[in-house]
Structure 1
């Protein structure tokens, strides 16, 4: 059965008749990792999300699998060490969705970082994170710094630190992990909401689910339910009667996108602002994106708002560190806001709250995982499924194997590892060109889809109503990636709404016609999903 909503009825029927070992509520990166870990151990696994996969925080991050350099300032040594190691694992298991990104950390008079403390911090960072020899930090002089990035503020410049982070497409990373979980037997469905819990002898035995596409209700039975719903963690816990006294404190992070013709950044930069916060400016596909803000947030979680104040803050940050770059509100092509589900700590500001993760268990057996970072998703999954496996051993005398995800390529990651990926790209580019794609088109597809690229090459169509790459991406997304709406496709499968708005505006009608035809939508359904996309366009632009 293809991983497609074309088979939605059959998938729901399968959910109705089975009793799962584990049911995960939440299809962001944490839930995806949990589903994969559980399925790999042989647990009968289901995952649901009331929206599309990765529609929450996992498509709204800074899009970095980073090692947490900033957490050294807060002396969170254990976190830096763990997520630093996990960063390498994420890269090795999915080099098609994770790319090394050299990062410049400029040092200025009066800034947050001094030259010697930065050198020491980066050295400790390399050690804790197990950074490879050729990726380890170096300290650059003033002239070397300016050569790396001529736009950097020169007044008071003392040099810079130069180190490696990893850039990712957060939503694509999430969908690739979910696809791998499905390949290993997990039953995963988007647009299914957990409405209420079912109990037997005071223990949760499943949920009442609602299919968000048509409003129908059905029961999903499970021996263990895991709440991995990110910003909605507390809402799900309330359905179970409350919590353990701990709760989330949500903060909002905003990013803006500017065309490279206005902001021609050639080097990713991590810099401190006048208010002593840290901000990234990163070049990507002909654009430069800047973020992030860090403010408390308690409003709309489905579509967090980007305020004029948010935009002004980031524009002022650009003007501060890149004084020769003239940017204003009209230069912002798109923007996005994400909500961080952090664990509440009394008296701490937005940037001070720890990004650590915790597991909470209710009296009814509901397991909740809260906090954490995208980089640490695999380790978080291992930790909570270790706990589930222990429960099965002690309560039901069932043994499950240890975690097997550390060296497991995610979907698209069967390319021989990161070192062999460049050669794999060259090999597959030749295949794509034989299929009729241009060299550039083939290169784009291989780099984005890795070992799944042959399925996209199969969608080469003469006289396509869409550009070759876009048509292949769309058909693959609806046949193999559970895409159901045009917003799913443009936002979370190809990120065009964020980094290529022109493509969305030029081809949205054609794409909607193709999707509508594939799913046999009525005119009313087509208009509904077009309105959803228009609302997303308005929100980001």
Structure 2
């Protein structure tokens, strides 16, 4: 997908049935379902696709065992069913993930209570995945666990994904059905007609060009920023931004063959360590995020120490320290405020435990603007369909929504001449665009090589520059691929070799490359590296 071509298409259209604002998982899901129903669709994203919460999640596609414990059975039922649909329809992109839940003496939630919860969790999905392991059997599966007070542990199954690639796959399928999707194209103002919101004034972040697009229906899918669009119509905020932060370790330093979930020694909150992309991901925190949403979030020193303390308590033999952390990231969740604002107020109440705040989605129509936000990564499709059913009053084509259609279309096949390790991975992550990636790789056979210890090859970087609307270096290294997270220093050692590929494909000059490198490394240092040490 060439961004310039998409912009020209959008300018030529002048009007669409559905304008989706926001290029994260919520917006991508809305765009795909609307295009699948036969509506004309445009999606615009002010920054990069998945650059907000949708590339900064815990990578879990799960029902939310914690939400079940809070009595939110409806949300859990919806989530486990969507999880199973994604496992069925996106194999290799959404993959099963088995969890181990160690039980220790003194845990506030013991074996029996956890077992009851897991039985209900399985029942809601129509499966049986749970089983109990005694101490010896548990240690066979997780020998790094500390022995102190260990009674055994439960095992159950959930799933995980690469959140950014899931968004990109949804957007690619939406484009295949005729949707126009453009990143770095911001909404400067909503336009209004007799029936309320009827379009938007758009501004290209690259050259400053502005143009207006009319739409029968405008959907606000901007996640944690949704209240900002709503405020422009005079509506009080409904969201409580919560920050979740993560650490990433090399797999040899924190070796887990399956996910481990355990309770933090300070406050009893659940923490997990799970295998992801050949590394080990640890998370997450749950704190009110008071910083300016215009600024990219980053882990705080206190959060970093909090997660590291949990790891040291659970895996004392490993001696984990700051130097073992490859990278960090923080995402801000669009969680519904339990108590709304006072009329005219610009802030929402932040009372109550953040971990107990509801993860239900918000879908509301106000002055013709439909907002869909909140919810979870797992439930993006059900949220999208609910929002589009509300929009069907304005867009007759949306009466054709197919709730039980496959989440993603079958990916097809690639020639057997491509090694199986690439073939299955590319089909899962690129879907219908996998053949174009293969063509790119065959034209540059020397680039079909693993990058460092990752599962990426150089051809994927070239293809992303050529066909995936890369505008900045961080688009390429933090979202089209995750090399900026998986390699120390944001993958700075790749840059000398990468320069030739990027400049050839994107037409960058040496000066532009140098400027992009400077901005990228600054972003890595501010938002993806280790925070400054806190005072003891």
Corresponding residue to 2:315 among 322, 326, 329: 322
Corresponding residue to 1:263 among 229, 232, 254: 254
Corresponding residue to 1:298 among 275, 290, 294: 290
Q: Deviations over 1:488-540 (max 9, x none)?
A: 11111111111234782222243344333323334554333222311232131
Residues 155 and 228 of structure 1: is their aligned pair in 2 closer, same or farther, counting only changes over 3 Å? same
1:279 to partner: Cα distance: 0.9
2:328 equivalent in structure 1: 335
Q: Deviations over 1:114-157 (max 9, x none)?
A: 111111111100011233x5xx2111112111111011122111
**Secondary structure at 1:163 match in 2:** strand
1:191, 1:206 → 2: CA distance? 18
Residues 106 and 184 of structure 1: is their aligned pair in 2 closer, same or farther, counting only changes over 3 Å? same
The answer to whether the 8 A contact 2:6-2:180 is kept is no
The answer to whether the 8 A contact 2:134-2:153 is kept is yes
Residues 408 and 335 of structure 1: is their aligned pair in 2 closer, same or farther, counting only changes over 3 Å? same
Corresponding residue to 1:235 among 205, 225, 228: 228
1:56 equivalent in structure 2: 52
1:91 to partner: Cα distance: 1.8
Corresponding residue to 1:252 among 239, 243, 246: 243
Residues 441 and 375 of structure 1: is their aligned pair in 2 closer, same or farther, counting only changes over 3 Å? closer
1:266 to partner: Cα distance: 2.6
Residue 173 of structure 1 pairs with residue 161 of structure 2: no
The answer to whether the 8 A contact 1:259-1:287 is kept is yes
1:35, 1:450 → 2: CA distance? 17
Residues 473 and 58 of structure 1: is their aligned pair in 2 closer, same or farther, counting only changes over 3 Å? same
Q: Deviations over 1:276-318 (max 9, x none)?
A: 1011101234421100011110214341021111110110010
2:343 equivalent in structure 1: none
The answer to whether the 8 A contact 1:386-1:402 is kept is no
Gap regions ≥5 residues in structure 1? 393-397, 416-423, 434-438
**Secondary structure at 2:356 match in 1:** coil
Residues 516 and 405 of structure 1: is their aligned pair in 2 closer, same or farther, counting only changes over 3 Å? farther
Q: Deviations over 1:179-232 (max 9, x none)?
A: 111111111100000111111226112111110111111111111111110111
1:465 to partner: Cα distance: 6.8
Corresponding residue to 1:455 among 402, 420, 436: 436
2:524 equivalent in structure 1: 537
Corresponding residue to 1:280 among 272, 279, 292: 272
2:8 equivalent in structure 1: 10
Corresponding residue to 1:356 among 357, 360, 365: 360
Residues 319 and 91 of structure 1: is their aligned pair in 2 closer, same or farther, counting only changes over 3 Å? same
Residues 213 and 496 of structure 1: is their aligned pair in 2 closer, same or farther, counting only changes over 3 Å? same
Corresponding residue to 2:392 among 384, 389, 392: 389
The answer to whether the 8 A contact 1:254-1:292 is kept is yes
Corresponding residue to 1:209 among 196, 199, 202: 202
Aligned residue runs from structure 1 range 384-423, under 5 A: 384-392=387-395, 398=396, 400-404=398-402, 406-410=404-408, 413-414=410-411
How many residues of Structure 1 are paired with residues of Structure 2 in the alignment? 509
Aligned residue runs from structure 1 range 132-211, under 5 A: 133=128, 136-201=129-194, 203-211=196-204
The answer to whether the 8 A contact 2:388-2:398 is kept is no
Residues 104 and 451 of structure 1: is their aligned pair in 2 closer, same or farther, counting only changes over 3 Å? farther
2:34, 2:421 → 1: CA distance? 39
Corresponding residue to 2:504 among 496, 502, 517: 517
1:379 equivalent in structure 2: 382
1:69, 1:143 → 2: CA distance? 25
**Secondary structure at 1:179 match in 2:** helix
In angstroms, what is the RMSD of aligned CA positions?
2.2
Residue 507 of structure 1 pairs with residue 494 of structure 2: yes
Residues 456 and 112 of structure 1: is their aligned pair in 2 closer, same or farther, counting only changes over 3 Å? farther
Residues 508 and 344 of structure 1: is their aligned pair in 2 closer, same or farther, counting only changes over 3 Å? same
2:518, 2:403 → 1: CA distance? 40
The answer to whether the 8 A contact 2:89-2:406 is kept is yes
Q: Deviations over 1:10-32 (max 9, x none)?
A: 23433xx4311110110000000
- Pick which of 474-483 and 67-76 moved more: 474-483
2:180, 2:31 → 1: CA distance? 9
- Pick which of 254-263 and 515-524 moved more: 515-524
The answer to whether the 8 A contact 2:448-2:459 is kept is no
Residues 386 and 8 of structure 1: is their aligned pair in 2 closer, same or farther, counting only changes over 3 Å? closer
Gap regions ≥5 residues in structure 2? 340-350, 451-455, 530-536
2:78 equivalent in structure 1: 82
Residues 49 and 262 of structure 1: is their aligned pair in 2 closer, same or farther, counting only changes over 3 Å? same
1:449, 1:19 → 2: CA distance? 29
1:366 equivalent in structure 2: 369
The answer to whether the 8 A contact 2:447-2:457 is kept is no
The answer to whether the 8 A contact 2:198-2:215 is kept is yes
The answer to whether the 8 A contact 1:45-1:186 is kept is yes
1:123, 1:205 → 2: CA distance? 48
